Each structure stands twice: as C-alpha cells, then as structure tokens.
A and B are shown apart, each in its own frame.
Chain A
Amino acid sequence: MKKTATITWVILMALTMVSALVSKLENSYALLIILLLSAFKFYGIAFQFMEMKKAHPFWKISLGLFTALFFVLIIVFNVRSI
C-alpha cells in the first residue's frame, strides 16, 4: 500500500503542475485537459488514499458517477461561454 500511495502522490503532484502549465495555454482544449486532469486527481485521492478501491461497488459507482457528472456539467456550462 505504501508503494502505491507514493506512486499516486508523485503522479498527483505532477498532474497539478501540468494543470497549472496548461492553464497558461491559449488553446480551446486547455479547459478540457484541466478538468480531465482534475477528475483524475479526484479519483486518485478517493480510490488510493481513501481506499475506496476496497469499498462496496455501490460506493465506487456513486463516487464515480458524481465526479463524472460534476465535471461534465462544468464543461457544459463553460463551453457555452467560449
């Protein structure tokens, strides 16, 4: 578990820095990349650090659906403003 948590932590740190760099780009896909990276970080914390990977499928599916719905709605509302 310790090794997995360490790998997850390194990946999450790298993704955070990538998100900050991508936000500086003048690219229409930047928004999508930032939100995808954020969703990935959310899953990393929930499933690795909180050990939701060991939980009952109900919790895994609920959390997965919530995250997907949240980021999709953010994209939908924001795309209208681009």
Chain B
Amino acid sequence: MNNLTINYKNIWYPPGGILIWIIICLELLTFGAALIAMVYYGNQEIEQFQNSSLKLNTTYGMLNTLFLLTSGYFMAISVHELKNGTKKKFKKFLLLTILFGGLFLCLKSFEYYEKLSEGIYLGYNTFFTFYWMLTLFHVIHVLVGIVILTSVYFGIKKEHSNTKIEDVEAGAAFWHMCDLIWMMLFPVIYLLF
C-alpha cells in the first residue's frame, strides 16, 4: 500500500481530498436547504407539524444517532491504525464501522416498516413528505457508504494491494459525511417540532 505523508495544510488537499470535499459541500448545502425549507413550512402549518412529529419515535432517532456516532468513531480509529501500519487492526475496526452502519439501516428499516403499517406514506402530509424524502436520501447515502467501505476492505485485504491511503481517507470522509448529515436531520425532524 502506498503510504505517503499527506500535507493537509495544502488548500487543495483537505483530509480525504478535494473531490470528495466538493461532494460533501454540495450534499451539506442540499440537505441544509431542504431542512430550512422544512422548518419554513413547519412555521406555516404549525399544528400539523407538531401532531406529525408526535408520531415519530425519538428513541429510534436517538439509537440511530448512537449507532452512527459509534460507526464514525470506529472509522476514525481504523484510518489511524492504517496510518500506523497495523493493517490487521484497520480491517477489524473497518468491519466494526460497517457493522454499526448495518445496525443503523436495520433500525431505520424497522421504523419505516412501522410507519408504512400505520398507513403513513410519502404523501401523507407535508411533514411526512419531508420526513420520507430526507431520511430516504440519507439512507441511500449510508448504503453507498457501506458499499465504498466494503470495497476499501477487500482492496486492502489483497496481498499486493494498490489501494492508497488517499482512497481510504476519501471513503472515510464520505462515511463521516453521512454522520454530519444525520446530525442536521436528527434534531430538526425528531426533536424540533
């Protein structure tokens, strides 16, 4: 594995690389704008948003936050281990990262199943339209993140791996982006109204 020393102070090389950071900026702006729009509509239809918000289970939201934070923690540790040259530990922590990402998806699926059983679909009302659109887009990002991390895992596992530290960092940055988006979604969707 190519283990170069990266100069993060270079404006063109934030941790993970400039390309992934262009994606992160666009994603944060998109989700941010959508959430601000949600709060704006919440201001127009106060009662509906408050009643709809009561239909959400805050405990699920909190548990999902804990899963993502733990996953992000293991991701940070695994990158650290790889930089130290301990490939075995890197793989172990990366698997734990994927596991907690999987737990997030399991709980989210259960939550979706409950909502669908109650007849709460995409067009149920304005609040739930935002809920489904925003959380589903986030779930898609988590799924893509798991695919990227799995590919990194098998790339590093090879005897003569050509996976560079920059590739691993870019994958890690994408995974942390899912955490960042959730940190914006969780308070607004589950706690605010």
Q: Which residues of A contact B (CB under 8 A)?
A: 1-2, 5-6, 8-9, 12-13, 16-17, 19-20, 23, 31, 34-35, 37-38, 41-42, 45-46, 48-52, 54-56, 58-59, 62, 66, 70, 73-74, 77-78, 80-81
Q: List 30 A-B contacts (CB under 8 A).
A: A1-B80, A9-B73, A20-B61, A23-B190, A23-B191, A34-B192, A37-B187, A45-B69, A45-B72, A45-B176, A48-B76, A49-B73, A49-B76, A49-B176, A50-B15, A50-B16, A50-B76, A50-B172, A50-B173, A50-B176, A52-B14, A54-B8, A59-B21, A62-B25, A74-B35, A77-B39, A78-B42, A78-B43, A80-B43, A81-B42
Partner of B11, one of A2, A8, A56, A73: A56
User: Which residues, 170 to 193 on B, are CB-close (under 8 Å) to A?
Assistant: 172-173, 176, 179-180, 183-184, 186-188, 190-192
**Smallest beta-carbon distance A2→chain B, Å:** 6
